[in-house]
Structure 1
Amino acid sequence: MRADEIPTREHTRAPQHFRARVRADGAEGWPVEPGRYRLVVNRGCPWSHRVVLARQLLGLGGAVQLAETDPVRELIGGDHHWVFSEETGSPGGVDPVLGIHALREAYLATEPGYTGGVTVPALVDIPSGQVVSNDFDQLLLDFATQWRREHRAGAPDLYPAHLRDEIEALSERMHADLNDGVYRAGFAPSQQSYEQAVSRLFGCLDLLEERLSTRRYLVGDTVTVADLRLWPTLIRFDAVYHGLFKCNLRRVRDYPALWGYTRDLYQTPGFAQTVGFAHIKRSYYYGMPGINPTRIVPAGPDETELDSAHGRADLGARPATPA
């Protein structure tokens, strides 16, 4: 759906188009090579956020470059595109490494004549300017598993082999009902589809509240990719989804365990620095005139509440190793 369109059909998330892998052995894809790739993200995007978190927690900042697009997509040729701007560190609106203004240019360098959607995050090969992958979930898993020799000392194992079945089962529920559910509610074309989405969404939040009432992290005794899939949605919930997307039965702040968990991770080294609330709110409220035609960006909620005591250490799990 275009940013300025009023929803007229059910929200569906198209599969990612570029899905090549970066593997430690370089087989059937691209090789792990420090300095070769540039990860293009938008700070407002929760799908970008989970990959940025992995990069931060694993200490891959020196191995994989990071580039940020402007908070708001630019209208070019009748379509809205992720572009680089002065605001996000690109002089003259041109990424200083890739030499492009719009991310779509990298898509076209990869597949001339490409007419599909352009999404973030996107991992771009710097020498060729081609998109390696815009598959946010595979990028997350590959950072956790294929880039191990570049991980910092003491980096957490975000995808332990013995917990993967449990991680994926829980993640499947979260993706369908919560991560993507907020969009199905926000872009619902009818009252019925909205109510269905909201019912499933808060059913999932209730389940997570119960789960996190007795454990510090979603799976196991430290942070895993399950947490990196959930937390970007939670950190945006009260600021964006509760108001703009009408997911307003309850706030995250109204759930004792979920709110404590959100603050716990925010206060864990490596998390807070990946959040930019001004960018997040502008990306959604200003960048989606189809559902917010006034483009007014709200002042709240109070971000300082995230620094309040959370009491989660009493649950006894290991905190994430500082990044």
Structure 2
Amino acid sequence: MGDMTPSERLAANAATEGGFDRDTTYVEDRITADAPPGGPTGERVGQMVWPVEPGRYRLVAARACPWAHRAVIVRRLLGLEEIISLGLAHPLHGEPSWNFDLDEGGVDPVLGIHRLREAYEARIPDYPRGITVPALVDVPTGQLVTNDFPQITLDLSTEWREHHRDGAPELYPEALRPEIDEISRWIYTEVNNGVYRAGFAADQEHYDEAYDRLWAALDRLEEHLATRRYLVGEQITEADVRLYPTLVRFDPVYHGHFKCNRSTLREMPVLSAYLRDLFQTPGFGDSTDFEQIKQHYYGVHHEVNPTGVVPQGPDMGWLLEPHGREALGGTPFGRGSAPGPVPAGERVPAEHTPLPVG
């Protein structure tokens, strides 16, 4: 491996996709600080820019979804709760859409819609692809702005900077962006999407390949994080935010439901300590709803779990045990500070988390 950076070493030997193909076509509009007021401006859907305006947009997420979980974490770490409102979809959904059955009357109180599909089709009639979260919706028009989840979190860090809270961390520092981007691509291919390749493998050959590839990646992470507290640099960055949702879902979902069962994550000394460290950091554990996570995976993936039975376990209280990662140096927020308390209307129910809620 020679003089490769840590992220280059991790990215080495990344194989091509096989067995499970994810649709990665999104509405790629962006909300940018230099966009003209009013907006959007541009030539066509997917290439338009919308202006940064506090209160104009609603982030629609689902606590069950790992891709949406990233956006919820970043919004909280940066203190954007009063700037971009949050709508939470029900963990169970049918083919048509994510819906708002968690809200009174099954209607989002800000957007006034029952299904997220309504926002998609307000923008693109007869929208032909899957309805995904996270999604940013323009409140005045009720139209989807973007569902490009990798770009959403980067733009929250860079384009909304004027509205970050005092002490907000630098999740995407300019000097580290090449390394963050490289390791993030590898994490997506090998870990975030790797568990899905195993879980939705159509035959034994593809499953075996996906299983081996995933565990090779987790073993590399175990080695990488043995001597450093975070993936890149000396504080939490976008890379850690992208890895966390997969790791925290591993034992309750991916280990059994997706047959990623060489061991539990709890049995891996480095990754389990790294996960405990992040879980105990404000913004991470306090946005994690284990009950909704299990309801979604076990209740929606009928091809994997035909009965729809949701397991009662496992006990995730181990995430509150000491992690000892402080000895490796670094601090969670660098020169910044922790976010304040979770807004009352956004708290995870006490019975859905081992964390004390208050």
Aligned pairs for 1:104-119 within 5 A: 104-119=117-132
* CA distance in 2: counterparts of 1:231 and 1:64, whole angstroms: 22
Structure 1 SS opposite 2:157: helix
Residues of 2 paired with 1:16 and 1:169: CA distance?
20
Matched residues in 1 for 2:135 and 2:25: separation? 10
2:58 is aligned, of 38, 44, 51, to 38
Corresponding residue number in structure 2 for 1:60:
80
Amino acid at match of 1:249: R
| Structure 1 residue 295: Cα displacement | 1.1
By relative contact order (CA 8 Å, sep 6+), the higher-ranking structure is: 1
For each residue in 1:174-222, what CA deviation from the matched residue of structure 2 results, as whole angstroms up to 9, or x when unmatched?
Answer: 1111100111110000111111111111111111111110001000000
Asked if the contact 1:173/1:204 (under 8 Å) is kept, the reply is no
Rounded to whole Å, the distance in 1 between the matches of 2:130 and 2:19 is 17
Aligned to 2:33: 24
1:82 partner letter: W
Alignment of 1:99 onto 2:112? yes
CA deviation string 1:113-170 (max 9, x = no partner): 2222111110000001111100001001000111101111011000011111111111
> How far apart in 1 are the matches of 2:34 and 2:182?
28
Give yes or no for contact 2:96–2:117 (8 Å, CA) kept in 1: no
Structure 2 residue matching 1:81: 3-state secondary structure:
coil
Aligned residue for 1:184?
197
Question: Any gaps of 5 or more consecutive residues in structure 2?
Answer: 1-17, 37-47, 340-358
Stretch moving more, 231-240 or 247-256: 247-256
- Please identify, of 61-70 and 17-26, the stretch whose mean Cα deviation from structure 2 is larger: 17-26
| Partner in structure 2 of residue 148 of structure 1 | 161
Aligned match of 2:141: 128
Report 1:1-323 matches (<5 A): 10-26=19-35, 29-74=49-94, 79-85=95-101, 88=102, 90-320=103-333, 321-323=337-339
RMSD of aligned residue pairs (Cα, Å): 1.2
Following superposition, which runs of at least 4 residues in structure 1 exceed 2 angstroms of deviation? none
Cα distance, 1:251 vs structure 2: 1.5
Under a length normalisation based on structure 1, what TM-score does the superposition of the two structures give? 0.93
Partner of 2:344: none
SS in 1 for 2:59: strand
Residue type of the partner of 1:136? F
Residue in structure 2 matched with residue 3 of structure 1 by the alignment: none
1:83 & 1:270 partners in 2: Cα distance?
24
Deviation for aligned residue 1:10: 3.2
Unmatched runs of 5 consecutive residues or more in structure 1: 1-8
Number of residue pairs the alignment of both structures matches: 308
Identity across matched positions, percent: 52
Contact 1:37 / 1:125 at 8 angstroms: preserved in 2?
A: yes
- TM-score when scaled to structure 2? 0.84
Aligned equivalents of 1:311, 1:194: Cα separation in 2: 35
Query: Aligned equivalents of 1:311 and 1:11: distance in 2?
Result: 37
